[in-house]
Amino acid sequence: MDTKILPITSENIKLCADAIKNGELVAFPTETVYGLGANALDETAASKIYAAKGRPSDNPLIVHVASINGVSAVVEKIPPLALKLAAAFMPGPLTLVMKKKPCVPSAVTGGLDTVAVRIPKSSAALSLIKASGVPICAPSANLSGRPSPTTARHVYNDLYGKIPYILDGGSCKIGIESTVLDLTSDKPRILRPGGLPPEKLREVAGELETAKEDGVALCPGMKYKHYAPKAEVLFSAYYDSMSQSICDWYDKLSQSGKKPVIMCLSGNAEKYGDRATLKVGKTYDDYAHNLFADLRLADDRCYNVVIAEGVEDGGIGSSLINRLIKSSGGRII
Ligand code: AMP
Ligand code: MG
């Protein structure tokens, strides 16, 4: 199968919406990362996503809809808190887990009786959902285990030959995935930190629990290997003399014949002298925006170890720490 990258035009939205209606897969931009979409009401179409990505079948998909009516179409009963959260944060990088309606096939929910729903903010994503006339289930459009894609080219490099179309909406604004919040337990519970910081959620939802990652399949996707480039990733804890320790690791790795690179904020780059760096930007938001792209860039430039700077916990920093711990496979220095 040939894979076409298509600019966002009304003709291409229609072409891709028709493909979705016909049970095919389409990759599309959102404000978080690129999604690999299928008709969420079509079991066979949803199954194709798992095959294309090499995704374990017990890892459920997020259902993308264009409005609160779209949420009602897939959720048994929308709890009052979901309406409050939707008014505050939707469209946006928040996914809510609620009891599913029977029309949502179990291939979409990994066999669970709940469904994860989100209204994306990206206008291309909203246009595609509206033109398709169906909810679109979509995980990130990468090969399972690889860094999530934040450009059409990342999707192409991972899924060429496996899907017909990629809608190209440029680079994703946020760059990491949505925050997943479970509304089916007594207290709302963050299953996956993401683009919407917990502090903002608490302003509306009050006290929140955070799911412990102890292997229990609360958010099944969190137990699998994630976000890994070919290079080994070492993640530094955040502390005052972090840059000195990073330099020591860099020098030790270089001496042992490795080709390391330091992933750092641009304001810190001079602390690393003439060592190789990948600058992720000035702020933690920039770090989130560039993280996955720079992990892929490290591979393209043939570095075989990425030493990633730590960040302070809180805000988008908490989500960055989550992604970097996973990406490093827990190799924390
Ligand atoms: P991805 O779309 O690849 O970013 O992954 C979606 C994330 O949402 C994964 O970690 C899934 O395990 C999680 N998820 C999707 N549906 C549910 C659900 N019904 N209950 C709990 N977690 C879910
Ligand atoms: Mg993913």
Q: Is the CB of 191 under 6 A from ligand 1?
A: yes
Q: What are phi and psi of 303, to 5 degrees?
A: -75, 145
Q: Is the CB of 222 under 6 A from ligand 1?
A: yes
Q: How far apart are CA 332 and CA 254, in angstroms?
A: 18
Q: Nearest ligand to the C-alpha of residue 179?
A: 1
Task: Assess whether 146 and 61 both reside in one domain.
Answer: yes
Q: Which residues surround ligand 2, an ion (CB under 5 A)?
A: 139-140
Is position 46 within any domain? Answer: yes
Is position 333 within any domain? Answer: no
Helix, strand or coil, per DSSP, at residue 202: helix
Is position 13 within any domain? Answer: yes
Note the pLDDT of residue 213: 62
Parent domain of 316: 232-327
Cβ contact 29:168 at 8 Å: yes
pLDDT tens digits, one per residue of 178-205: 999 999 988 999 999 999 999 999 999 9
User: Which of the listed residues 191, 209, 226, 323 should we mutate to test ligand 1's pocket, taking the one with most ligand atoms within 8 A of CB?
Assistant: 191
Task: Assess whether 172 and 320 both reside in one domain.
Answer: no
Is position 227 within any domain? Answer: no
Q: How far apart are CA 221 and CA 163, in angstroms?
A: 22
Question: Which pTM was predicted?
Answer: 0.95
Cβ contact 107:46 at 8 Å: yes
The minimum-distance atom of ligand 1 relative to the CA of 62 is 15
311 CA to middle of ligand 1, Å? 25
Q: How far apart are CA 309 and CA 264, in angstroms?
A: 5
Q: Is the CB of 62 under 6 A from ligand 1?
A: yes
- Per-residue burial over 218-233, b = 16 or more CB atoms within 10 Å of its CB, e = otherwise: bbbbbbeebbbbebbb
pLDDT tens digits, one per residue of 129-161: 999 999 999 999 999 999 999 999 999 999 999
* CATH code of the domain in which 68 resides: 3.90.870.10
Reported as a pLDDT band with limits 50, 70 and 90, residue 60 is very high
pLDDT tens digits, one per residue of 84-117: 999 999 999 999 999 999 999 999 999 999 999 9
Task: Assess whether 153 and 261 both reside in one domain.
Answer: no
Q: Is the CB of 236 under 6 A from ligand 1?
A: no
Find where tokens 């009052």 sit.
Answer: 80
Q: Is the CB of 114 under 6 A from ligand 1?
A: yes
Reported as a pLDDT band with limits 50, 70 and 90, residue 218 is low
Give the closest residue (by CA) to ligand 1 atom 10.
221
Assigned token pair, 11: 């003709």
Reported as a pLDDT band with limits 50, 70 and 90, residue 214 is very low
Cβ contact 205:67 at 8 Å: no
Please state whether beta strands 26-28 and 179-182 pair in parallel, antiparallel, or not at all (unpaired): unpaired
Task: Assess whether 61 and 149 both reside in one domain.
Answer: yes
pLDDT surpasses 70 at 210 = yes
Note the pLDDT of residue 217: 46
- Residue closest to 162 by CA, chosen among 134, 149, 143, 146: 143
% of the chain with per-residue pLDDT over 70: 96
Q: Is the CB of 112 under 6 A from ligand 1?
A: yes
Mean of the per-residue pLDDT values for the chain?
95
Q: Nearest ligand to the C-alpha of residue 192?
A: 1
59 CA to middle of ligand 1, Å? 6
Task: Assess whether 312 and 204 both reside in one domain.
Answer: no
